[in-house]
Structure 1
Amino acid sequence: MATFSGHETFPFRYGWLKKGYDAVIKKPNIFSSPDAIVELGVGKNMVNSIRYWGLATQVFKKKNNKLYITEFGKFIFDDKRGIDPYLEDIFTLWLLHWKLASTFDPATTWYLVFNEINKSLFTKDELIADIKLLIQKHSYKMPSDNTLKRDIDVFLRTYVLKIDKGSIEESFECPLTELNLIIEDNGIYRFNLAASENMPSSVLLFAILEFWDNNFPKKKNLALDEFIYKNGSPFKVFKMTYETFLSKIFEIEKITNGIISYDETAGLKQIYKKRQIDKFNVLKKHLAIKD
Structure 2
Amino acid sequence: MARDQTLLSGCVPAFARHNGYPPRWGWPVKVHAALREDTQAFARAKAPGTLGVGSSIVAPMRFWSLAFGLIRQDERACGGPRPVCATGRGHWLLEEEEGADPYLEEAATLWLLHWWLLSAQPCHVPTFRYLFGIWGRSRFARAELQAAVQDAAVATGWSRPADRRIQRDITALVSMYGTTGQPDRPSAHAVEEYVSNPFRQLGLLELAAAEAHFGEQPRTTRPSDRDLRVNRHRGTSCCPRAILAYACLQYAQLQDVRAPGAIALGRLHTDPVGPGRLLLADRRALRTALEQVEVGPTGRGVRLAASGDGEELLAFTEPPGDLADRLLAARYRRLDGPASQR
Could you tell me the TM-score, scaled by structure 2's length? 0.78
After TM superposition, list the pairs within 5 Å mapping 1:138-149 onto structure 2.
138-149=156-167
Q: Deviations over 1:96-118 (max 9, x none)?
A: 11111112432121111111111
Aligned to 1:63: 74
Partner of residue 95 from structure 1, selected from 95, 104, 112: 112
Unmatched segments (≥5 aa) in structure 2: 1-11, 76-81, 181-185, 210-225, 337-342
Q: Which amino acid aligns with 2:227?
A: I
Partner of residue 173 from structure 1, selected from 196, 199, 205: 196
Partner of residue 189 from structure 1, selected from 222, 228, 231: 228
Q: Deviations over 1:72-97 (max 9, x none)?
A: 11121102211211111101111111
SS where residue 37 of structure 1 aligns? helix
Partner of residue 311 from structure 2, selected from 245, 257, 268: 268
SS where residue 156 of structure 1 aligns? helix
Q: CA deviation at 1:3?
A: 1.8
Aligned to 2:258: 218
Taking the aligned partners of 1:196 and 1:272, their CA distance within structure 2 comes to 29
Taking the aligned partners of 1:9 and 1:268, their CA distance within structure 2 comes to 43
Over the aligned positions, Cα root-mean-square deviation in angstroms equals 2.3
Distance verdict in 2 for CA 1:164–1:66, change over 3 Å:
farther
Q: CA deviation at 1:52?
A: 0.5
SS where residue 72 of structure 2 aligns? strand
Q: Answer whether contact 2:69 2:90 (CA < 8 A) is retained.
A: yes
SS where residue 66 of structure 1 aligns? coil
Aligned to 1:228: 269
Between 1:160-169 and 1:125-134, the stretch displaced more is: 160-169
Between 1:259-268 and 1:246-255, the stretch displaced more is: 246-255
Matched, 1:114 2:132: yes
Q: CA deviation at 1:194?
A: 2.1
Q: Which amino acid aligns with 2:117?
A: L
Taking the aligned partners of 2:236 and 2:317, their CA distance within structure 1 comes to 26
Taking the aligned partners of 1:160 and 1:217, their CA distance within structure 2 comes to 35
SS where residue 281 of structure 2 aligns? coil
Q: Which amino acid aligns with 2:316?
A: K
Q: CA deviation at 1:290?
A: 4.5
Matched, 1:282 2:327: yes
Q: Answer whether contact 1:4 1:109 (CA < 8 A) is retained.
A: yes
Aligned to 2:152: 134
Q: Deviations over 1:17-54 (max 9, x none)?
A: 11111111111121111110111121111011100110
Q: Answer whether contact 1:196 1:238 (CA < 8 A) is retained.
A: no
Matched, 1:259 2:276: no
Number of residue pairs matched by the alignment: 291
Taking the aligned partners of 1:223 and 1:179, their CA distance within structure 2 comes to 27
SS where residue 222 of structure 1 aligns? strand
Distance verdict in 2 for CA 1:183–1:127, change over 3 Å:
same
Aligned to 2:48: 37
Taking the aligned partners of 1:243 and 1:167, their CA distance within structure 2 comes to 33
SS where residue 267 of structure 1 aligns? coil
Taking the aligned partners of 1:181 and 1:215, their CA distance within structure 2 comes to 25
Taking the aligned partners of 1:279 and 1:155, their CA distance within structure 2 comes to 28
Aligned to 2:3: none
Q: Answer whether contact 2:108 2:243 (CA < 8 A) is retained.
A: yes
Q: Which amino acid aligns with 2:119?
A: S
Unmatched segments (≥5 aa) in structure 1: none
Q: CA deviation at 1:231?
A: 3.0
Give the greater-gyration-radius structure (CA).
Answer: 2
Q: CA deviation at 1:288?
A: 2.9
Q: Answer whether contact 2:263 2:314 (CA < 8 A) is retained.
A: yes
Taking the aligned partners of 1:130 and 1:118, their CA distance within structure 2 comes to 11
Q: Which amino acid aligns with 2:279?
A: F
Aligned to 2:223: none
Aligned to 2:245: 205
Taking the aligned partners of 1:217 and 1:158, their CA distance within structure 2 comes to 33
Partner of residue 240 from structure 1, selected from 281, 288, 292: 281
SS where residue 82 of structure 1 aligns? coil
Q: Which amino acid aligns with 1:259?
A: G
Matched, 1:11 2:22: yes
SS where residue 282 of structure 1 aligns? helix
Taking the aligned partners of 2:279 and 2:332, their CA distance within structure 1 comes to 21
Taking the aligned partners of 2:99 and 2:37, their CA distance within structure 1 comes to 16
More helix by percentage: 1
